[in-house]
C-alpha cells in the first residue's frame, strides 16, 4: 500500500535562509508526486508536481523539488524564504492513472523575521 511520510511536523527558519521540507513515499508502482501549500483558513494550492522526465521540478513562488527514485524521496526546497511562505506544506503521491492521492501529515513552515 502507498504511504507518505513527512518527518518534520514543524520547521522554523529565519527569513532569507534556505529551507528543505522532507518527503518520503512508499509505493510498489510508478507514481506521480505533488507538493501542495495551505495558507491559514484556505484550501490547498498546487506548488509543483513530478510526472516524468527531469527529476528536478520547479514550481511557483521559487520552490523546487527533486525526485529521487532510489531513496523514494521528493524533498521540497527554497533557497531563500520570505515571511509570506509561512504555511503548511503537504506532500502527496498517486499511483499513475488512479487519480487518488495519499497525503502526508503536513509540515508547518514558520518563517521568522
In the complex, the residues that contact other proteins under the rule CB under 8 A are 32, 34, 36, 42-46, 49, 51, 90, 94, 96-97, 99-106
Nearest approach in angstroms of CB 49 to other proteins is 6
Looking at the Cβ atoms of 28 and 99, the one nearer to other proteins is: 99
Nearest approach in angstroms of CB 112 to other proteins is 23
C-alpha cell at position 5: 511520510
Looking at the Cβ atoms of 15 and 64, the one nearer to other proteins is: 64
Nearest approach in angstroms of CB 15 to other proteins is 27
Looking at the Cβ atoms of 77 and 101, the one nearer to other proteins is: 101
Amino acid at each position: 500500500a502507498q504511504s507518505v511520510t513527512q518527518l518534520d511536523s514543524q520547521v522554523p527558519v529565519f527569513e532569507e535562509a534556505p529551507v528543505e521540507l522532507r518527503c518520503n513515499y512508499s509505493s510498489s508502482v510508478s507514481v506521480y508526486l505533488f507538493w501542495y501549500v495551505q495558507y491559514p483558513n484556505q484550501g490547498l494550492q498546487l506548488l509543483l508536481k513530478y510526472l516524468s522526465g527531469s527529476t528536478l521540478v520547479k514550481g511557483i513562488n521559487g520552490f523546487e523539488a527533486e525526485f529521487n527514485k532510489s531513496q523514494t524521496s521528493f524533498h521540497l526546497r527554497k533557497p531563500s524564504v520570505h515571511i509570506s511562505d509561512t504555511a503548511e506544506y503537504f506532500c502527496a503521491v498517486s499511483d499513475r492513472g488512479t487519480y487518488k492521492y495519499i497525503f502526508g501529515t503536513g509540515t508547518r513552515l514558520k518563517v521568522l523575521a
